[in-house]
Structure 1
């Protein structure tokens, strides 16, 4: 029997969000334990470990999240599971060297079908280059991400998350050209539209960025 583990994992993710909205976060570990025994497949066990790790991160318990992932280690950039690549970056990215972190970014951009992922991690790669003051490479990288975002947007509107990550790359590009009024205006316009979305969870972060952007321009 051919089991679509990714599709089943998506169902689990939706279930987890439902529990979170209901305020039932404490119940999730037991639910995931029961689901773990339903399918005898190492891919399924890895997905449940990932979801248990995410559950721990929702509780701000990074130590438990790391323990949940221990049976799957080492998780390296050759891994072909985007979820595991992302949580590995979340838990251990700060202790990685630049080349290893960049390898994770590139791998996620290659494997993920999510437009938001491609913009988020493509932008992260660009910021890595900016942080080491390789302005030429950073400019080229930001331009590639921005071009990709505009291409995506021409096909269909970006999701709020993708729009936010697009703005981050625009912001990085603007740091390299601080006199570019058009870039700053575009960032402000896009962030203002995001802020107007009802019940968007990152609204506070967007509001802060608009304030910082205003301070920067003045």
Structure 2
């Protein structure tokens, strides 16, 4: 006799399914969205009514969990369920939790997030969901605590992240945490795995660009150009219109880099114009605006428009005083032969206070400025910095070696030749924005988008859950 199906009923006095630590009856019971799941949340976000959006996000988590417990949980051990329906439920519920995490940050509740995650662990009784909880814990450590060691410890709880991994979020954060430790071949394999697993356009643009950088850093400029060109073609494909802001940002970056690799002035001018249009839109945090102005300055540097590069970098510094931009300002001043001014800017920073990649850029910049200054004390300090600097990529190893040889010769001969000065300051600048693509953020907040823009991207990426009327077999 077939057991009659019945919908799941959550008790009034039971802990709420949203993880709030309140009773269901006084929390989400009266706000369940039914077929309109997501609607109230979307409306509240458009109105910037964050507290209302928080209540709606909690109710959406409770609603989807009830659907899961009604339809999937009773047959969770059937192979067909694990293969498809369970995966859909895990991804859909994770998308609602992702929105809740964003709102915890927005409303100043970050301190409560880890406890909330532990209460959400029981919403789906399966290891696939428990791995999602691990992902969110690692993401919290990485993005809010800036604690990569703790993030790695958390991620280990998910088990090995291999090339057979199918969870795109686990792959993304694994790459973010382990990329610098991987040999070149493994980097490419994991990037390719993401490109196979995720069909999301944003992921395709980002990780193809990341592959392009890897080829550039080993000296294969042709492969880098081809991959960046693929990104441009994807973004311009009418079938992919309209692009989200984040996707447009990735497209303009790729266009800029194709222009650099081809030495195409018209393409770089086009990228500068598109960057200027993008930065004027009301979608960016001050850090996001700073990042775009930094990219504009990079194009000016490559075009050897050093006054424009200096002015743009000063705008970036006015928005957010980032050591990277202080280094780039010193570079722009040096290329205008304002050596004393370049020294004054670089002297505002100390290597021990910097993190990678700023520390790497600082070593290269300080050495070049020391060579142009011909100051023996600076040359000695530059030599120490370069000896301690051990870049992994061949591109930067070559730059370090050239600078170290010239610095050492300048110390021994107590003079710097014009040839050595020119070698220390090659065309287009001694710092390359291409390296910044190595920093692969697993979450959108890392790109400096404001909350409305993040919401737009999350909305486009959200997995489609099951219909509430679907019944288990």
User: TM-score over 0.5 for the alignment?
Assistant: yes
The aligned residue for residue 190 of structure 1 is: 274
The aligned residue for residue 26 of structure 1 is: 111
The aligned residue for residue 81 of structure 1 is: 167
The aligned residue for residue 149 of structure 1 is: 235
Matches within 5 A, 1:84-99: 84-99=170-185
Matches within 5 A, 1:64-213: 64-151=150-237, 155-178=240-263, 180-201=264-285, 202-213=288-299
Residues 142 and 86 of structure 1: CA distance in aligned 2, closer, same or farther (over 3 Å): same
After superposition, the C-alpha distances for 1:171-217 in whole angstroms (9 at most, x for unaligned) are 22122112x12210221122112201214232220111112222321
> Which range moves more in the overlay, 26-35 or 108-117?
108-117
The aligned residue for residue 46 of structure 1 is: 131
CA displacement at 1:113 relative to structure 2: 3.0
Residues 155 and 199 of structure 1: CA distance in aligned 2, closer, same or farther (over 3 Å): closer
After superposition, the C-alpha distances for 1:103-136 in whole angstroms (9 at most, x for unaligned) are 1111112221321111000000011111111122
Which SS does the other structure have where 1:72 is aligned? coil
CA distance in 2 between partners of 1:173 and 1:119 (Å) = 14
CA displacement at 1:154 relative to structure 2: 5.3
Residues 121 and 80 of structure 1: CA distance in aligned 2, closer, same or farther (over 3 Å): same
Contact 2:141 2:151 in 1 (8 A): yes
1:15 is the counterpart of 2:100: yes
Alignment root-mean-square deviation, CA: 1.5
1:36 is the counterpart of 2:125: no
Which SS does the other structure have where 1:37 is aligned? helix
Contact 2:161 2:171 in 1 (8 A): yes
The aligned residue for residue 459 of structure 2 is: none
After superposition, the C-alpha distances for 1:61-119 in whole angstroms (9 at most, x for unaligned) are 11221111112232122211110110001111111111111111111122213211110
Q: Which has the higher contact order (CA 8 A, sep 6+)?
A: 2
TM-score (norm 1): 0.93
The aligned residue for residue 43 of structure 2 is: none
Q: Counting helix residues as a fraction of each chain, which structure ranks higher? A: 1
- Ranges in structure 1 where 5+ consecutive residues have no aligned partner: none
CA distance in 1 between partners of 2:296 and 2:177 (Å) = 29
Q: Give aligned pairs, total.
A: 216
> Which range moves more in the overlay, 180-189 or 84-93?
180-189
CA displacement at 1:168 relative to structure 2: 2.2
Residues 76 and 20 of structure 1: CA distance in aligned 2, closer, same or farther (over 3 Å): same
Structure 1 residue ranges, 4+ long, deviating more than 4 angstroms after superposition: none
Contact 1:142 1:172 in 2 (8 A): yes
CA displacement at 1:166 relative to structure 2: 1.4
CA distance in 1 between partners of 2:227 and 2:198 (Å) = 18
Which SS does the other structure have where 1:76 is aligned? coil
